[in-house]
Structure 1
Amino acid sequence: MSDTPLNWRAAQAAAAQLLAGWQTAGQPGGAITLFDKDITQAVVCAGLADLARREPFTADTVVRYASITKHIFAALALNATDNALQLNDRLGSLLPELQGQLAEVTVGQALDMTSGLPDIRQTLGLLGVSVNTVSEAQPVMEFIHGLTRLNYPAGSEITYTNTGYRLVEAALKTKGYAFDDLVQQHLARPLDVQLQAPESWFDVVPGLAPGYWHTANGWQQTSAGLHLSASGSLTGSANGLTRWLQCLLANRGPGKGVLTQLSAPRHLNHGQISHYGLGLAQTPLGSQTLLGHGGSHAGYKTYFLLAPDRQAGALLVANREDCDSFAIILQVMAALLNEPLPQRSTAIPDGIYATRAEPYWLEAKGGNVAYLGTNEPLYQSEDGYAVSLSAHQPMRLKWTGEAVEGEVGHVARRFLPVASEPLCLKQVQGHWYHPQYRTAFEICGNQIHIGVGPAVQTGTLSSLGDGRILVESNDGPNLNCFCLYFRGYQVDLIASRSRVLTFKKNISARA
């Protein structure tokens, strides 16, 4: 344990400065809490909880915690269900309807992001289903039951996906354990806090602040139609979540043993150690290793980081889409612990790169790298590599003068610069369909169209050569980026969280 005193005043000043821009009239806001294992040392709030009612954002404002939910669900699933499941259990033994490779995934892999399970939200998006389209629990599960392939062999790499948590939650339901019931019994009532895990975006949650994103017409409320799951359904306030995090730091009550349990090392198939545990991720900061997790739901951003050795932490919740929650809370923790912030890296030249004869690509821009469409900032490491700090999207890359080499997701990759190839676009014009899901898209010029009428989504295309075309399209506040990987009369749709869809050429349709 460090002898350097915790600098609560510096951390509070950093928090106030970072949220100062939200004080401008008419903006959504957020709250930051600074706490040790016993008390809240400081609270900084800014902006509005409700733009229509002009209500200020406070530490009691209720928001969607989004993926911060994951570690709470993992703790309850493992500790509050009378050993209903074990980490080595196959999902197929718990949910017999699962098919093929999905059935062989273990509970541990489902929770530690090494499962290869395609993310349902992204898979539906690739099929043209908007983020706003409402879906219920049973049709979503039936959709999953129809899948037979994984994004990659389970345990061979790490990539973020929400589907594992949805399936483990479904398995517990078959044994009589509902997530919200577990939350009320083991957390909300013992801690005397308001927590709720709705199953729909449109369920009534007392005190819930709307989420917002900024458009050309100003701030607008957000929505998300996909049935909510234990991957990100929990709602509550900054104060309520702080109470739980203090239990983790103090190793008491419902938090007893949880930090050690959820942050225990997890291993990939070839022995690599993952820094993502069971809903808890390790983040290096100077001499410290922090534990935490973030959350992102339409119009909501959250993040917490804990320094277990110092028994201190910080939490941010916000109801605005543009919030860089990780960068904010990392700066606050650096001030609290008197640790230097990691230095950003621009070692990877701007440009688009792809592996040879494979659909894996990355785009470097201004010190950030988007791999398969998922963006991460890069930082300098002592060995000269550019690295991400993300445990669920680990990157370790260097520029050799000819290629970008290193690891992504604990898998060795070599990316070469790509040049546009207009001929590829000419060869793939026309209609492509998916027989199982009765959907299709059309490539016309340098655009792709999927959907009908006012719900049609249009994306722009750019060729990477070797039968690969990048697609960029917007769905509300979301920028969708994926690759079309053509193989004769078939095309695979490849994105970070979903790589299992194959469309076929409709040779009878007019191109």
Structure 2
Amino acid sequence: MPRRSLVSSFLFLGLTCAPITALASRPEVIRAQASDTLLKGRHQQVDALFAPWSGKSTPGCAVGISRNGALDYAHGYGMSNLEDDVPITPQSVFLIASISKQFTAFAIGLLAQEGKLSLDDDVRKHLPELPDLGKSITLAHLIHHTNGLREQGQLLNLAGWRGDDLYTEADILWALGRQRRLNFEPGSEVVYGNAAYTLLGVIVRRVSGKSLRAFADERIFQPLGMSDTRFRDDHTEIVPRRASAYSPRDGGGWRISVPHADYYGSTGIFTTVGDLLKWEQNLLDARVGGQALMAWMQTSGRLNDGTATGYGGGLRLTGYRGLRMVSHDGMDGGYRTEALLFPDQRLAIVALCNGATLLPSELTRKVAEVYLGDRMKNVMPPAVKLSDAELSARAGNYWSPLTDEVVRLEFKDGELRQVDMPTAFVPMGQGAFRPGESMHVWRFSAPTAGASHGLSIQDSWPTTRDFIRVTAPLPASPALAFFEGRYHSDEVDMTYTVRVADGKLVMRWPRRDEVVLEAVGGDRFVGSLGTVTFTRAASGGVDGLTISSRRLRRLRAERLGATEASKAASAMNPPTSR
């Protein structure tokens, strides 16, 4: 297990700060006891960042900041419960969603330290009910998102579950157990997903003989004094001081958006900002687990070719503006969460929010700039000016042979942007663009004779996705009828009905609303479920379809009851190469 020193020297700042283990009980604000005017100014700047969410008619956030192991500031903004006019306080309890993953990884690491499992174990050693897909998937592949498993939520969606249905561990194991292919060969790519960590939670139970909840309580939460923290394994359980969660309602206002789940590992922890700051401190001082395990947690996984993934044991290791940063975000229902740690500066920032339109990842980084801005670098490439003609030339539909995704770009109001997305692309020169203030790079290749623009996307993960511009013509309206029919997928045990309605293809399956399929060229369409590509038999007739998205590639459905007449008709609309 690799080792590296993570603890920098303790910095005494001349401040009298409250220890994280002893949060005061004031309901509105918990402040470090300090007379330093600079500290007070920082707190006022933090308040200003969250001011838009501090009213009595909106959800909001609880924010906690610690320095050198002492609580610097904690405050609640907005409402915990809009129905009962309950404000958010630092003691409010939130579902932290995917921030939970680091605790699951830590539990696996503890079991590995004790020799009860190996990170090189094939997952089927512990979960023999999973299918043998011809490639070994190790526990390390699960931890580092290099496993190739299809996304659990999308599988259940395609199997007929609604977004507000109860999702159970048994449901997820059922869906994963039916799969007949992976997204990619394990270790060849990194694609973030949830299925792996749900499986890791099951493995903790099978290896330790205790539920993940009981194991984490005994080995993590109680030793660290995280008395308000638990993995929730029963969606009906009463959680004192729990903040409800909300999403915007069409026409204005809010609607309740609390996930119903009886699975955990990938999500499931309820906690407070104070408790989570105690865990952030443990990432520094390793009071529980020891330095070797903490070093492993903060060491990047690697692809088969040695490329670092930037993801450790449930932790993102990408850094921010020239400073080393360890972080993770979370999103489930209306909950939005972020936890940042700057190990070298010993600064931790946690924001737990309960509104789907809040962006805690942006807000916490702005808080970090308040505290560390003088040590940060300006790494944002400057914008360059392009003409309308240069921008509009890049609009169009692009398809990835690797992931089978389609991205659609439009030129509108003088800006290049993704269709139905608010963020405009900022040109940086030499064919490179960034979405808004993001560090992601979308790079267009220059058109050559007989070819149009290509596109490669480099986001926070090291696997670059290459796209080809779709040049096939859109199908004429009469040709849409050739795609009508019923399509069955054994992998999710579901039959889909495709028909023409109001001049467009629509797709429907039991318990789900119809999904409109927008044509992007040839036999390829896009909808809210991703890319739908109709496939052809040797005769030219449509014999099936595949469904793809970033985390679920080419789920196959066979056409039912295709006749020779329909095949002949389909031959009038020949297959295309793109």
TM class by shorter chain equals 0.7 to 0.9
- Asked if the contact 1:69/1:234 (under 8 Å) is kept, the reply is yes
- Relative to structure 1, the CA distance from residue 503 to residue 94 in structure 2 (aligned partners, 3 Å threshold; closer, same or farther) is same
Provide Cα deviations, 1:167-208, integer angstroms capped at 9, x if missing partner: 122122122132111221123222222111112433322322
Residue 213 of structure 1 pairs with residue 237 of structure 2? no
8 Å contact from structure 2 (residues 74, 90) kept in 1: yes
Q: Does 1:187 align with 2:220?
A: yes
The answer as to 2:517 corresponding to 1:461 is yes
Does residue 353 in structure 1 map to residue 398 in structure 2? yes
Aligned to 2:236: 202
Distance in 2 of aligned mates of 1:185 and 1:303: 25
Distance in 2 between the 1:358 and 1:250 partners? Answer: 41
Residue 475 of structure 2 corresponds to which residue in structure 1?
A: 422
SS in structure 2 of the partner of residue 288 of structure 1: coil
Normalised TM-score (structure 2): 0.77
Instruction: Find out whether 1:49 has 2:50 as its counterpart.
Output: no
Aligned CA distance change for structure 1 residues 15 and 94 (closer, same or farther; 3 Å): same
Q: Does structure 1 retain, via aligned residues, the 8 Å contact 2:69–2:346?
A: no
* Residue matched to 1:478: none
Q: Does 1:451 align with 2:509?
A: yes
**SS of aligned partner of 1:143:** helix
Distance 1:272 1:389, change over 3 A: farther
Letter in 2 for 1:45: G
In the TM superposition, what whole-angstrom CA distance separates every residue of 1:225-263 from its partner, at most 9, and x where no partner exists? 443211111111111111111222233345744542112
Query: Are 2:497 and 1:442 aligned?
Result: yes
Counterpart residue identity of residue 163, structure 1:
A
For the 8 Å contact 1:380–1:386, the answer to whether it is kept is yes
The SS at the match of 1:164 is: helix
What does residue 497 of structure 1 align with?
551
| Contact 1:447 1:458 (8 Å CA) reproduced | no
Counterparts of 1:359 and 1:161 in 2: how far apart (Å)? 17
Secondary structure at the aligned position of 2:514 is classed as strand
- Of residues 399, 405, 409, the one that matches 2:456 is 405
Q: 1:416 to 1:499 in 2, by over 3 A?
A: closer
Within 5 Å, which residues of 2 pair with 1:256-271?
Answer: 256-271=291-306
Aligned to 1:298: 333
CA spacing shift, 1:345–1:367, aligned 2, 3 Å: farther
**Bigger Cα displacement from structure 2, 287-296 vs 342-351:** 342-351
2:47 partner SS: helix
SS in 2 for 1:336: helix
Corresponding residue for residue 246 of structure 1: 281
Q: Of 350, 353, 375, which aligns to 1:318?
A: 353
Deviations 1:47-85 (A, max 9, x none): 011112211101110010110011111112211573322
So what's the TM-score if we normalise by structure 1? 0.87
Q: Is the 8 A contact 1:301 1:321 kept in 2?
A: yes
Distance 1:75 1:215, change over 3 A: same
**Alignment partner, residue 183 of structure 2:** 151
Q: State the SS of the aligned residue for 1:306.
A: strand
Q: CA deviation at 1:10?
A: 6.0
Equivalent residue in structure 1 for 2:139, among 91, 98, 107: 107
C-alpha deviation, 1:367, in angstroms: 7.7
| Paired residues of 2:297 and 2:315 also in contact (CA < 8 A) | yes
CA distance in 1, matches of 2:421, 2:204: 31
Q: What are the superposed Cα offsets for residues 2-29 of structure 1, whole Å, 9 maximum, x if unpaired?
A: 9999975565344322211112331111
Equivalent runs, 1:334-349 vs 2, <5 Å: 334-338=369-373, 339-340=376-377, 342-343=379-380, 349=394
Structure 1 residue 287: Cα displacement? 2.1
Q: Cα distance, 1:291 vs. partner?
A: 0.7
Decide whether aligned partners of structure 1 residues 178 and 110 sit closer, same or farther in structure 2, where only a CA change above 3 A counts: same
Q: Distance in 2 between matches of 1:226 and 1:400?
A: 44
Q: 1-side partners of 2:513 and 2:507: how far apart?
A: 6
Q: For residue 483 of structure 1, what is the aligned residue in structure 2?
A: 531
Unmatched runs of 5 consecutive residues or more in structure 1: 473-480
* Alignment gaps of 5+ in structure 2: 1-7, 14-37, 385-390, 447-452, 537-542, 567-578
Q: Which amino acid aligns with 1:343?
A: M
Offset of residue 407 of structure 1 = 4.6
Alignment of structure 1 residues 376-415 onto 2, 5 Å: 385-386=432-433, 396-401=441-446, 402-405=453-456, 407=458, 409-415=461-467
Helix, strand or coil: the match of 1:99?
coil
Is the deviation greater in 34-43 or in 313-322?
Answer: 34-43
Contact residue 80 and residue 182 of structure 1 kept, 8 A = no
Name the SS of the counterpart of 2:318 in structure 1.
strand
Q: How many residues align?
A: 497
- The aligned amino acid for 1:219 is W
1:415 counterpart letter in structure 2: F
1:67-126 Cα shifts (integer Å, max 9, x gaps): 001111111221157332221111011211111228721101101111111111111113
Q: Distance in 2 between matches of 1:331 and 1:394?
A: 15
Task: Give the stretch that moved more between structures: 340-349 or 184-193.
Answer: 340-349
**1: CA distance between counterparts of 2:379 and 2:426?**
6
Deviation at 1:288, TM superposition (A): 0.6
What is the identity, as a one-letter code, of the residue corresponding to 1:404? Answer: L
Deviations 1:337-381 (A, max 9, x none): 1125653788885553223697232345778779xx999998898
Change (3 A) 1:375 1:270: farther
Cα distance in 2 for partners of 1:50, 1:376 equals: 31
Partner SS state of residue 77, structure 1 = helix
Deviations along 1:452-495, one digit per CA (max 9) or x if unpaired, are 4xx431222112224211012xxxxxxxx400122121211101
Asked if 1:18 is matched to 2:49, the reply is: yes
Q: Percent identity?
A: 19
State whether residues 12 and 43 of structure 1, in contact with CA within 8 Å, keep that contact through their aligned partners in structure 2: no
- Offset from partner CA, 1:426-464 (integer Å, 9 cap, x none): 431232222454422222222424234xx4312221122
Shift in alpha-carbon separation, 1:227–1:322, aligned structure 2, 3 A: same
Q: Secondary structure at the match of 1:28?
A: coil
Further displaced range: 461-470 or 407-416? 407-416
